[in-house]
Structure 1
Amino acid sequence: MTTYPTQPHTEILELDGVELAIERSGPQGLPALLLIAGGAQSMDWWTPDFCARLGAGEFQVIRYDHRDTGRSSSSEPGRPGYTGEDLATDPLRILDALGIEQAHLIGMSMGGGIAQHLAVRAPERVRTLTLIESSPAGGDPGPLPPPAPQVAATWEQPEPDIDWSDLAAVIDYRVEVERPYAGPLGLDEERVRALATLEVTRTRNMASSMANHFHAASGPAVDPAEIRVPTLVLHSADDPMFPLPHGAALARMIPGAHLVRLAGLGHEIPPPAVWDTVIPALHRHLRHS
């Protein structure tokens, strides 16, 4: 009988001229969960502890580095060699390479937009959908509130004047990027610094990682109202990037979607402080869909 390692190990997949780094945990014969991070985020923000609790011996959990993050292919800063459409279809490339016909998709922020894209454009590949701190990727959601002032202010700031070869300075900068997005629970300095350090040391070019997703040409919009796969929406009442009405709009637009309101966290992949709420909600959704 063939056995498989249960600890994650990095694989580099060469797909259509692009290298995408992935890690898998859990037996590969189990139903697959594909975790899709937000803009300018590597897979590191989906921590191994979170993946282990999520997999729970019932699922294989797959996380990956978007282009220009972690160990995946990198472009020149400010000149991404890809489009938003490419980012949105990378999960299909990964599933094809791994021989997985269908997966549960869990996406945060931009990753939620990617997951919506796939649920509309390739519904046969999507077993369930979970959208975390995301917003409608098209359609007519009606008026939605803008980001909080501390988030909007970051868009008016000049490009950072840092030495990208100075490891300590880049880690400091990566931590500070997260600060405006924190919720009432606050920024867990020790945890965020540890994750930032891991990400910075793994990433081929941090200048590209921090900028290029936002320079890439947008992919086509999709209407969440066309989604027909079981959908869970996890959204914080305190998200400063996409306030709660964004998540409520998704739950309203997607037929049969279920909204779980969270409290305390900001615009972030759920931290340990809310795992006792988030992981049981995910397991109920995944096991009964």
Structure 2
Amino acid sequence: MLVEVGEGVEIDAEVLGEAEAPTVLLIAGSGWSRDWWDDDLCALLVARGQRVIRYDHRDTGASTSWPAGAPGYTGRDLVTDAVAVLDAFDVDSAHVVGLSLGGGIAQELGLEHRERVRALTLVATTAIGPTAGQLPSATPEMQAVFADRGPAPDWSDPAAAVTALVEGERPFAGPDAFDDARMQSIAERVVARTRDLAASTTNHFVMDLGPTGPASMADLAGLPVLVVHGTDDPLFPVEHGRALAAAIPGARLLELEGMGHQLPPEPTWDRFVDALLGP
């Protein structure tokens, strides 16, 4: 379903599950379309009685795209896009699950659109407001990945594009938590669905985040919040998840052993979903 979010911008969204079930809104990370929310994980949530909505950010999947290197939007637009998706499906409030950049968007929703948020699950992300203590930077290996991106692949070659996407995700995963077969299957679907692969792998990383007000994690008090973080996250080391959970009164923390900066690996899904749907 294409959702009009204003000024000729369309967001491609998908709903799974029964209309009367409680809604879980999945918000992906930078450069991720809805395809990166694994089909089998979504099916597990539906089997557990949830209605799942996942969608393509701007510049990903089938949503509106801008020229690579020139995004015509800011991070603030990504927040209002999430609200527009809820509106399009007549959802008053949802359990919002955000991963990485999506976790930042989820926090913004909880702070600025609290009436639309029933609960928050923040995966592999960091606080958008101050926390106690100084947090560690990305690992040297992760910093090297960002410093040496190498030449861009030939995005017009589907096989080369799939390989580039799979290998692009590999450094973020935990040392024994990369599922090649799953990543290959997802990447093939991403390549088939994405309007502009160069834009999808560039624009979220160069966009202006836009104006933000002072954020206090304490203002999320009263919302059920689950923080999920991998012990081997190379981008936001586990201390980020611990600090985020500590800064939100009443938040629960689930640390997943061996998980990196990634969607929780398949062997952890039962624990992840139990915690997500728990008290």
| TM-score for both structures, normalised by structure 2 | 0.95
Indicate yes or no: 2:37 matched with 1:50.
Answer: no
**3-state secondary structure, aligned to 2:254:** strand
Deviation at 1:162, TM superposition (A): 2.2
Deviation at 1:272, TM superposition (A): 1.0
Deviation at 1:24, TM superposition (A): 0.6
Q: 5 Å matches for 1:267-282?
A: 267-282=261-276
Q: 5 Å matches for 1:228-243?
A: 228=221, 229-243=223-237
Show the counterpart of 2:2: 12
Q: Unpaired runs of 5+ in structure 2?
A: none
8 Å Cα contact 1:43-1:70 kept in structure 2: yes
Aligned counterparts of 2:120 and 2:151: Cα–Cα separation in 1: 36
Indicate yes or no: 2:76 matched with 1:85.
Answer: yes
Show the counterpart of 1:227: 220
162-171 or 220-229: which moved more?
220-229
Q: 5 Å matches for 1:87-102?
A: 87-102=78-93
Show the counterpart of 2:125: 134
Indicate yes or no: 2:202 matched with 1:211.
Answer: yes
Deviation at 1:258, TM superposition (A): 0.6
**3-state secondary structure, aligned to 1:20:** strand
Identity %: 47
Aligned counterparts of 1:232 and 1:158: Cα–Cα separation in 2: 33
Deviation at 1:200, TM superposition (A): 1.1
8 Å Cα contact 2:131-2:243 kept in structure 1: no
8 Å Cα contact 1:235-1:244 kept in structure 2: yes
Deviation at 1:264, TM superposition (A): 1.4
Show the counterpart of 1:4: none
Aligned counterparts of 1:138 and 1:200: Cα–Cα separation in 2: 35
119-128 or 155-164: which moved more?
155-164
Question: Which contiguous aligned blocks of 4+ residues in structure 1 show a shift greater than 4 angstroms?
Answer: none
Aligned counterparts of 1:15 and 1:89: Cα–Cα separation in 2: 8
Query: How far does the alpha carbon of each residue in 1:123-166 deviate from its partner, in whole angstroms, 9 at most, with x for none?
Result: 11100000011100122443101111221112212553322211
Aligned counterparts of 1:141 and 1:160: Cα–Cα separation in 2: 39
88-97 or 50-59: which moved more?
50-59
Q: CA RMSD in A?
A: 1.4
8 Å Cα contact 1:136-1:223 kept in structure 2: no
Aligned counterparts of 1:118 and 1:32: Cα–Cα separation in 2: 15
8 Å Cα contact 1:139-1:225 kept in structure 2: no
Q: Unpaired runs of 5+ in structure 1?
A: 1-10
**3-state secondary structure, aligned to 1:22:** strand
Show the counterpart of 1:7: none
| TM-score for both structures, normalised by structure 1 | 0.91
Query: How far does the alpha carbon of each residue in 1:167-219 deviate from its partner, in whole angstroms, 9 at most, with x for none?
Result: 11111111111111110324221211111111111100000000100111013
Show the counterpart of 1:120: 111
Q: 5 Å matches for 1:249-264?
A: 249-264=243-258
Aligned counterparts of 1:156 and 1:147: Cα–Cα separation in 2: 12
